[in-house]
Structure 1
Amino acid sequence: MRRVTTLLSRLSIRWMLAIWSSILLCVLFLSYNGVQYFVINRWMLHQEQIALHKNIEEIQGYFRAENETAEGIAGSHSFIESINGSHQLIRILDARGKPVLTASAQLPEEWVKPQVSMKTTTDSIWHEEEHLLIVRSPLRTSKFNGTIEIVNNLESSDQLSDLLLGVMIAGWLGAIVISGIGGVFLSRQLLRPIQSLRDTMTSIKQKGLQERVRISGSNDELAQLARVFNDLMDQLETSFYSQKQFVEDASHELRTPISIIEGHISLLSRWGKHDPMILEESLNVSVQELGRLKGIVNELLELTRAEEKSRELYDFPCIANDTLQYTLRNFALLHPDFHFTQNLDDIDGAVIHIVPNHLEQILLILLDNAVKYSGSTRTITINGAVQESRLHISVEDCGIGVPEEDLPLLFQRFYRVDKSRSREQGGSGLGLAIAERLVARYSGSITLSSIPGQGTAVTLSFPVVEELQNH
């Protein structure tokens, strides 16, 4: 048994499914045929018993009506012959068990010994290879007391039973073959998507993440599994290439300040530390680059926090206009040479689900970009509106604008339209990426439109808390 278990454990799922399905079908077929064979045999035996009991009742009725004596019964041979069947023996015994009348049709008397019975009995015995059914019943009249004995050879019933058994065995063997072939075909059909999934995984291991499982037109569970796998691979491929691009961009952005600091430190180490002017210049540049390096690291940490899926503070209600006014007042103090125009009356009292600090951080990113790229026109416009249960906030500048082909790329990490000018203005290219992820975290959206030379507008949209909307 252990060897069989070990052998089965080494088989593939395909062959295990084929074998077990074949075994199950064979067991079911065998059980059904066995029950059917048993029931049919019992039914045929019962029918033979009913026929013999009817013969006995007919004999009893005849002799009781005639009130026959032993001599009269012995002379009724023609009547007994008329009701006797093929391969059957009818015998009437007196009270001492001596045969008074015997009628036999191809069944020797010596096969069954005479036996007196005081009640109706039914016996099934074997005489060598012959199966015999014996029914005995008492026969009583006013002039005779004895026993009716009928013996029937069940040869015809046994032949029919053997034929039925042969047909069932042939059918069972045919079921084994058919179930085996069907099991192999069924397992092949069922496991084809899994084999395709396995082949795709192997191909992904060898060729890369671009491989996908081929899906047929079916919509069963295995096809759904293949679709889920393809979706996961799409997300994984996107995440992998995004991570690769992020590492490349981050390493590029971090390499520049590190290289500048390294160059000035090497300069000081060789001979510049003895020259006060060079010493001061190198220290100033190093401090600036360290500040820039620190800013990039902090923005990377902010980006990581923005990408987290934690929603612990999601249910925090925020009155949008209050946060906007607070942020604008503080930001205007830092940029007194700019004019900030507000159109926020329509959003007065509107409440959204967002942590106020996060909304303030998003607004500061948008306002900071607007100031950096405003050019000579130092006017920033902030508009607010509530439409279809959503709060819309837009920050517009009248600056240099963004080319249309660069608009889809602005939310990528470290992307900058004019890298030289952005570097001079201290940008790292992470602000809009952080803003986009914070907005998405609260079921919002952010869109950007721009006309080169005329300005840029960034619009935020958040769902409004309806039960607090009119408060």
Structure 2
Amino acid sequence: MSLKWKWTFGASMAIFFTYTFFSVAIYLGFNQMMISQENSNVNDIMSGVASKLQVSGSNLTKEVVKESLTPKYYEIDVDADSRFLMTDTTDATADALFSKINEVGVIVAVFDPEGKKIYESRPSHTNLDKHATPLIEELFIDGKRGVIGTTPVMSAKNQSIVGYVQVINELDRYHGMINTVLLTMLLMGVLALVVSGVLGYLLAVNFLRPIKQMTQTMNDVRKDSQSASRMIVPAGNDELSHLTELFNDMLDKMQKYIEQQKQFVEDVSHELRTPVAIMEGHLKLLDRWGKEDPEILDESLLASLQEIERMKSLVQEMLDLSRAEQVEIHYKHEITDVKNIIHQVFNNFSMIHPDFTFNLDDDLTGNVKVQIYRNHFEQILIILLDNAVKYSTERKEIHISVAEDIYDIQIAIQDFGEGIAPEDIQKIFNRFYRIDKARSREKGGNGLGLAIAKELLDGYQGEITVESVLNGGTIFRIRLPIYHEDK
């Protein structure tokens, strides 16, 4: 059975059983209320009849009972030719009692003290059970539920028992009402089952639609890892919309990692092709005639060693770039003190480049921390300062400034060197992009430094921007969010 039909069946049963539970509760409550009402009605008739017979104050006879329980009439003249009989309504209680006695299914019987029946409103076949106090019991008449009540009739003179009143209620009104309610509930139960089934199916289809879309999207991605197929985010702010957003985000990251891996392999293959070709050329040269020529041998060996060093540097930078793309996975909980690292890097560059003037403008008010791995933060600063040193010209001066606001730290590194043309500024963060490839190779660059720095900053929710004037210098600006202990 599919999940859709399981859900449909489960939802239908839940709705149906809920309806059934409340229906049974209502039925039982209504049944009890009706029985209580009928018992109260029997009790009113018993007490009313006993009260009327007590007033007579004499021994109970058939004539006395009949006279007490028969409504009295009087005549009124409407005109000379017609007369009407009207009940004596001066006693409202008596009028109500007579109405109850004459209800359908109600039988009133009166017995003398020995239990001999001396009056009954309708024929009945019940026997008298004498009781000294009023008593109402349940009985079954022709297999149907009924109520019987018995009460003694007391003498008005000496309060002795002069007879008994027996009231039988066949509960015709109760049975009619209960049967109607039961039939209605059964019909409503069938309707509720049908409606709950339809609602359960519609709910199942609605709730499983995102899962169906997810399955379809996963099939698309399985067939084509670069598929742009994504789930449609439903309107609203519920769990399904959150699940859809997370699923799409996961697919985006998977596709990004696949593209990065593909790009990594392509870049490595492309960049290693040149040094391998150079080494192959020198080895072939040595194989042909260079083994006997010391000058060619030295030149080929020197060139090959240089290319090997460049390959080692390239492979290391490619590994750094690959790690930079995964900082969210491996380094997302690392915290670093900004002031400490900046001063350390500043002192190191001042020492290893004594011919340069390094100026540090530190406006930090305290130990400001950022959520970044210490080595990565140091690596970003080294890349930018190393580029500033490499591309400086006659004015060997580099300015470093660091400031903070409520949310971020800002670092600026300025040199006064070659600068960058406007058409190249948007490309300098691309992998292996070099403005002047010949001059970059002479300076030892592979075109990966700025790509690594940007990838690292992106991974830590930071950003890097550049301002430059050709032959006037360059300013790189870094922004990183400040880490707060209470977040």
TM, length-normalised to structure 2: 0.80
Q: Distance in 2 between matches of 1:133 and 1:348?
A: 94
1:312 Cα offset (Å): 6.8
Q: Distance in 2 between matches of 1:48 and 1:349?
A: 88
Q: 1:211 to 1:463 in 2, by over 3 A?
A: closer
Is 2:257 aligned against 1:247? no
Paired residue for 2:130, among 97, 116, 122? 116
User: Secondary structure of 1:115's match?
Assistant: coil
Moved more, 50-59 or 405-414: 405-414
User: Secondary structure of 1:201's match?
Assistant: helix
Is 2:282 aligned against 1:264? yes
Q: 1:295 to 1:178 in 2, by over 3 A?
A: same
Aligned AA for 2:139? I
Residue in 2 aligned with 1:276?
294
Moved more, 235-244 or 25-34: 235-244
Q: Distance in 1 between matches of 2:374 and 2:198?
A: 68
Could you tell me whether the CA contact under 8 Å between 1:402 and 1:450 is conserved in 2? yes
Moved more, 41-50 or 315-324: 315-324
Q: Distance in 2 between matches of 1:69 and 1:465?
A: 105
- Decide which structure has greater helix share: 1
User: Secondary structure of 2:133's match?
Assistant: coil
Paired residue for 1:392, among 398, 405, 411? 411
Is 2:10 aligned against 1:20? yes
Residue in 2 aligned with 1:131?
145
Paired residue for 1:11, among 2, 27, 36? 2
Moved more, 418-427 or 44-53: 418-427
Could you tell me whether the CA contact under 8 Å between 1:130 and 1:155 is conserved in 2? no
Q: Distance in 1 between matches of 2:483 and 2:245?
A: 36
Residue in 1 aligned with 2:178?
161
User: Secondary structure of 1:75's match?
Assistant: helix
Paired residue for 2:40, among 34, 37, 50? 50
Q: Distance in 2 between matches of 1:202 and 1:281?
A: 57
User: Secondary structure of 2:447's match?
Assistant: coil
Is 2:249 aligned against 1:231? yes
Q: Distance in 2 between matches of 1:378 and 1:406?
A: 23
1:348-359 matched pairs, under 5 angstroms: 352-353=368-369
Is 2:29 aligned against 1:39? yes
Q: What is the identity percentage for the equivalent residue pairs of Structure 1 and Structure 2?
A: 31
User: Secondary structure of 2:425's match?
Assistant: helix
Residue in 2 aligned with 1:5?
none
TM, length-normalised to structure 1: 0.82
Q: Distance in 1 between matches of 2:400 and 2:131?
A: 116
1:6-405 matched pairs, under 5 angstroms: 10-12=1-3, 14-71=4-61, 74-82=63-71, 83=98, 84-85=101-102, 86-104=104-122, 108-110=123-125, 112-141=126-155, 142=158, 144-207=161-224, 208-268=226-286, 272-304=290-322, 306=324, 307-308=326-327, 309-310=330-331, 314-316=335-337, 318-319=339-340, 322-323=343-344, 325-333=346-354, 336=355, 340-345=356-361, 347=363, 352-353=368-369, 361-374=379-392, 377=394, 379-384=396-401, 386=403, 388=405, 390-399=409-418, 401-405=419-423
Q: 1:420 to 1:125 in 2, by over 3 A?
A: same
Q: Distance in 1 between matches of 2:483 and 2:236?
A: 42
- The Cα offsets for residues 291-312 of structure 1, whole Å up to 9 and x where unpaired, read as 1122123323444555534267
Could you tell me whether the CA contact under 8 Å between 1:126 and 1:132 is conserved in 2? yes
Q: Distance in 2 between matches of 1:172 and 1:356?
A: 69
1:328 Cα offset (Å): 3.3
Q: Distance in 2 between matches of 1:133 and 1:464?
A: 84
1:348 Cα offset (Å): 8.7
Q: Which runs of 5+ in 2 are unaligned?
A: 72-97
Moved more, 290-299 or 304-313: 304-313
Aligned AA for 2:65? S
Q: Which runs of 5+ in 1 are unaligned?
A: 1-9, 467-471
Q: CA RMSD in A?
A: 3.3
Could you tell me whether the CA contact under 8 Å between 1:193 and 1:222 is conserved in 2? yes
Could you tell me whether the CA contact under 8 Å between 2:139 and 2:146 is conserved in 1? yes
Moved more, 162-171 or 279-288: 279-288
User: Secondary structure of 1:394's match?
Assistant: strand
Q: Distance in 2 between matches of 1:158 and 1:43?
A: 13
Aligned AA for 1:139? V
1:443 Cα offset (Å): 6.5
User: Secondary structure of 1:318's match?
Assistant: helix
Aligned AA for 1:395? Q
Q: 1:149 to 1:360 in 2, by over 3 A?
A: closer
User: Secondary structure of 1:215's match?
Assistant: coil
Could you tell me whether the CA contact under 8 Å between 1:449 and 1:458 is conserved in 2? yes
